[in-house]
Amino acid sequence: MDHYTTLGVTQDAIPEVIKAAYRAMSQKYHPDRNQGDALAKARMQAINAAYAVLSCPDERARYDRTLSAAESHNKSSRQTYADGEPTRDFSSNSSEGEEYEQTPYKSDNPMGSGPMPVAPEPIRLLRSGEYAALIVFTLITVLIFAKGQAGQTRGQPPATPATAAALIPVPPAPPRRDNQPAPLSIPAAKNSAVSSIKVLKAPNGAPWPTTSGYLEGYDSSDYGGSIIDLVNTNTKSAFFVKLVNTARNAKHASRHLFLGSRQGFSIVNIAPGSYFLAYQDLMSGGYYRTDAFNLSQKPSPQDPTRLQFTTVRFEFSARSGGYLDSHAISAAEFHGAP
């Protein structure tokens, strides 16, 4: 630290400014005000040495020339000084008010006595351990932020209106073919009661199949997601069954199928609506129908984005003069005659 910096003044400061700075610094660091403070004592010694040089015109001029030469040397020299090289100054150990004789510090400085130029302190790079600590700190910060963001939205799933689920399209399913197995867990009879069938041929002119299934030659309609399970395990008869939408007559039934004796079958992929079953007992030739029933679809209580459909079970149970939960109808009504 040069003398001007010690007193906190610029190199072109006038004597009055130097004197005022010296008085202010002396009051701050005087030993009487800082008893037992070794740092304040050393600072006061540097202040006295700086003022002794700068307060004397000749000494100040010689000191300025030394500073100027050192500055020129710093600009022209490319030498890098090793860390820890001592800095030269003209500090004195004299106390306040004592006379002193300045003795320049002898060194290898090519400019002779005076402050030794000091190389700038190199930038210190982070050590490997410091890099690791920095990475860990960054990761922790990111995790804390992400956890906070998740906590703001946890437990608040976006509300899904129940009506929106009803708009989910249900893709049409192809009608079940005659050779498809029945979806019910009812073992199909090896031989249907074809020998006792009074109606020997299907409406399409072909013999009745031996297993339950949709009949060839009929269009299917009203596709959705509901299911009707037909159970015929308690009768010896086979049936020609129609699923009829109440908005239309039996001539335009939604499904046409054969239900064998001691067998079961599921009508699948049915749209919401009002329906009834019309069927012919192929053993007696009689015609019957059930009361109307409704099939519906609605959002699932567990997941509003999914639909819940109706499943209906109808069991053919014979009773005197007909079948349970059914009543007899005419052939014209069964075939949908106007």
∠ CA 64-70-72, nearest 5°, is 105
Instruction: Round to whole Å and give the CA distance between 80 and 121.
Output: 10
- Judged against a pLDDT cut of 90, whether residue 70 lies above it is answered with no
Q: What is the mean pLDDT of residues 61-84?
A: 72
User: To the nearest whole number, what is the mean pLDDT of the chain?
Assistant: 76
Q: What is the mean pLDDT of residues 295-300?
A: 91
Q: What confidence tens digit (pLDDT) does each residue in 102-138 have?
A: 444 444 444 444 455 555 555 555 565 666 667 767 7
pLDDT value at residue 99: 43
Q: What is the mean pLDDT of residues 48-73?
A: 89
Per the CB < 8 A criterion, the answer to whether 15 and 55 are in contact is yes
Q: What confidence tens digit (pLDDT) does each residue in 170-220 have?
A: 444 444 444 444 445 444 444 444 446 678 888 888 888 889 999 988 889
Confidence tier at 87 by pLDDT (50, 70, 90): very low
pLDDT value at residue 276: 97
Burial (Cβ within 10 Å: 0-12, 13-18, ≥19) of residue 150: exposed
Instruction: Round to whole Å and give the CA distance between 190 and 281.
Output: 20
pLDDT value at residue 204: 80
Strand partners, 328: 288
Instruction: Round to whole Å and give the CA distance between 45 and 155.
Output: 71
Instruction: Round to whole Å and give the CA distance between 196 and 89.
Output: 130
Backbone angles phi, psi at 118, to 5 degrees: -110, 130
Per the CB < 8 A criterion, the answer to whether 73 and 108 are in contact is no
- In the block, tokens 């060839």 appear at 216
Concatenating the DSSP letter of every residue in 24-39 gives: HHHHHH-TTTSTT-HH
* 47 against 91, higher pLDDT: 47
| Token couple for 228 | 């009707």
pLDDT value at residue 33: 84
Burial (Cβ within 10 Å: 0-12, 13-18, ≥19) of residue 188: middle
pLDDT value at residue 72: 80
Confidence tier at 57 by pLDDT (50, 70, 90): very high
When mean pLDDT is compared over 129-133, 146-150, 273-277, the highest value belongs to: 273-277
